[in-house]
Structure 1
Amino acid sequence: MPQKADKLLPVLTGQPVIPVLKIQRAADAVPLARALAAGGLPAIEITLRTAEAIDAIRLAASEVPEAIVGAGTILTARHFDQARRAGARFIVSPGTTQELLDAARSTDVPLLPGATTPSEVMAAAEEGYKILKFFPAEQSGGVAFLKALSSPLAGTRFCPTGGVTPQNASAYLSLPNVICVGGSWVAPDNLVDEGEWGAITALAREAAALAPAR
């Protein structure tokens, strides 16, 4: 299968929340990954939104064996290759381009590409991609929009990211077409800046316990 779902599914089904991280200092990557894994969130997405992101991926991947380190905000084949070489075990993109799909075909590292509209979801499905990032989730219609997609596009499952919070995460997780959510609240900038790893572990533990709304 083009998406390598056999590699991606265990990552996404292993925890309800994938932490989405913007790491300013590469030195924070190892203690942050350890703190999140200790709280029950071993799979993390380090976004390429900072100058030290690739170094952060490399450090976390090489020094925190209990972590499953992924790379996010991957926009080009060059980004994909840089992240893969740094040790990323899965790749996340806010959208889907042919360049990224071609890059993914040449490697064993699975890609979670983004889609927002029905047409984008259908185009991804034609390429063999049935697990997608839904971004930006809240700004694109949120829970109601994904619920509307669940019947006509029932073969596709999503990881909503963007505006997902502890308050609305359970509503997303209750949808039949949502596999997990992505969120940044488990590692807020102030706690990372201050090295409050215990507090981050506590937030991760709460996120790991999230369940679908009843």
Structure 2
Amino acid sequence: MTADLFAGLAGEQTREAFDEGVTILRQYAVAQDEVLVRAILAVARSAPFRHMKTPGGHSMSVAMACCGQVGWVTDEGGYRYQSQDPETGRPWPAMPESFVSLARSAAEAAGFPGFAPDTCLINRYQPGARMGLHQDRNEKTFSSPIVSVSLGLPIVFQLGGLRRTDRTERILLEHGDVVVWGGPARLRYHGVLTLKPGEHPVTGPVRFNLTFRRAG
């Protein structure tokens, strides 16, 4: 892993080239944190957070909301993207401009210029919530990167390989950190360990994660 300093949205930040196709932009979103949290709460007023069920009938510990042209959904019918919120029957809220500009600039800083996300999955983690190892593979194309933004309480990110059985690396993600992976790393398994209790001055007792993707 190599690291350098660069001028980003909040001045000097650390860019860590973790592995081929994987970059960690430390503190990249800090300057916009309050704007982003306000935008999250605005989205949630139209598309409330909910604990979706997996095809096997298990309720996810993470509460989710979506915005953009399509949203990610899981239920007894499987994993998929769709243009309407199944709970309201309405289109998902438009993606806030603050989200779009952050996703584009972070992708470019990580070496993926021209990123045009059409969906953002917003995860709300409360203490005890976790996300098991998985691949983001419901998209129609894997040519665009994944941009993942951490806000609030710290959590341990697990990054594996292209097979579920590959060894995983554990990376502590803190408030404002952004992870970008694409190219040869696009289908790497990833997840997070259980969130520990705490209090953050911007998000309170929770962690928010913004995951930007190109689904179509």
TM-score (norm 1): 0.29
TM-score (norm 2): 0.28
Hey, which of these two has a bigger chunk of helix by percent?
Answer: 1
